Structure 1
Amino acid sequence: MGMREKLIGTWVLESYTEYPVDGSAPVYPFGEYPEGFIIYTADGYMSAQLSMPNRAPFSSGDWFAGTDGEYRAQGLSYISYGGPFNVNEDSGELTHTIAVSMFPNWIGQVQPRTVKLVGDILQLGNFSQYQSSGRVVDARIRWRRVKPPTPLLTPVKRG
């Protein structure tokens, strides 16, 4: 089975850590216990959602009527993007082509990822360093394969 087939499915976010290249302490942009999923489909698409836990709801209850502070907090605590993905089976390189993104600067980019897959643990890294909160960083994102949901069992009525 090739790497592409091994990626197909849903993975839950376990950790997202940025390592500043200046040697300063690691940073957890979505906290030490982030939430999220990355999904790779058999037809060649992917979607990633990364979030801080326990995000505050908008006081108005209306997605389009948040305060400036609520929109800022939302933008700093969540990222999502999706589009086609490709695996070069010879080199092992994984790329995400960003078709949609909460961060519009990524739209149209082809972003390579390093891949380490051991059992049900997938570790993705950025192929090159990038800017985050004013620092140049390397990132490592750890995912765990999600098992299919177990159907609810309904007791059989007898007699």
Structure 2
Amino acid sequence: MSITDFVGTWRLQSVETRKEDGSLHRQGKRKGYLIYSPEGYMGVSFMKEGRTEFASGDIRGGTVDEKIEALNGYISYSGRFEVKDDKVIHVIEVSLFPNWIGERQERFYSFEDDTLTLSTPLQLVGGMMLSSHLVWEKVRD
């Protein structure tokens, strides 16, 4: 596989998250997009469906609880990407979670027709070691 196999816009279809022991960890339905460019850049954003709006309507004026809920229900990062063997590597330059900036995050991948599945290695999420399997469908419309 090469970069050209990844190029395009992908819509999130499903997320399955598993604990270290292999048991399923339920997190609710997600909605999002993943974009790979021919120049070797990528960006991903996805969120928990049904997030609560800030009562004030002010993008910076939410309460502490509103901000915590908004942050916990959203993931976004972008940067360069590389394809090596059975992995795509996201070289993170911009991220909602500042700890990821500068990281090289590996994802195992598989393609089937217009579907791309990305799987993460175990990582610390909410105090638990979790692995996620995200299924993306190529946007054709």
TM range (shorter): over 0.9
Task: Specify the alignment match of 1:109 in structure 2.
Answer: 103
- Give the deviation of 1:22 after TM superposition: 2.0
Deviations 1:116-159 (A, max 9, x none): 01111100011x311122222221111111113xxxxxxxxxxx
Residue identity over aligned pairs, in percent, reads 34
**Cα separation, 2, equivalents of 1:44 and 1:28:** 33
- Give the deviation of 1:18 after TM superposition: 1.2
Q: 1:118 and 2:117 equivalent?
A: no
**Cα separation, 1, equivalents of 2:56 and 2:62:** 7
Amino acid at match of 1:125: S
**Cα separation, 2, equivalents of 1:87 and 1:23:** 27
Q: Where do 5+ consecutive residues of structure 1 fail to align?
A: 149-159
Aligned residues: CA RMSD: 1.3
**Cα separation, 1, equivalents of 2:87 and 2:66:** 38
Task: Specify the alignment match of 2:94 in structure 1.
Answer: 100
- Give the deviation of 1:70 after TM superposition: 0.7
**Cα separation, 1, equivalents of 2:124 and 2:105:** 14
Deviations 1:44-73 (A, max 9, x none): 110001101121111111101111011011
**Cα separation, 1, equivalents of 2:22 and 2:41:** 35
Amino acid at match of 1:48: V
Task: Specify the alignment match of 1:8 in structure 2.
Answer: 7
| Bigger Cα Rg | 1
Task: Specify the alignment match of 1:86 in structure 2.
Answer: 82
Deviations 1:65-108 (A, max 9, x none): 111011011011111000000112xx232100010111111000
Q: Aligned runs of 1:3-152 on 2, under 5 Å?
A: 3-24=2-23, 26-29=24-27, 31=28, 33-88=29-84, 91-126=85-120, 128-148=121-141
Higher strand share: 2
* Aligned structure 1 segments of 4 or more residues deviating by more than 6 angstroms: none
**Cα separation, 2, equivalents of 1:70 and 1:85:** 33
TM-score in terms of structure 1 length: 0.84
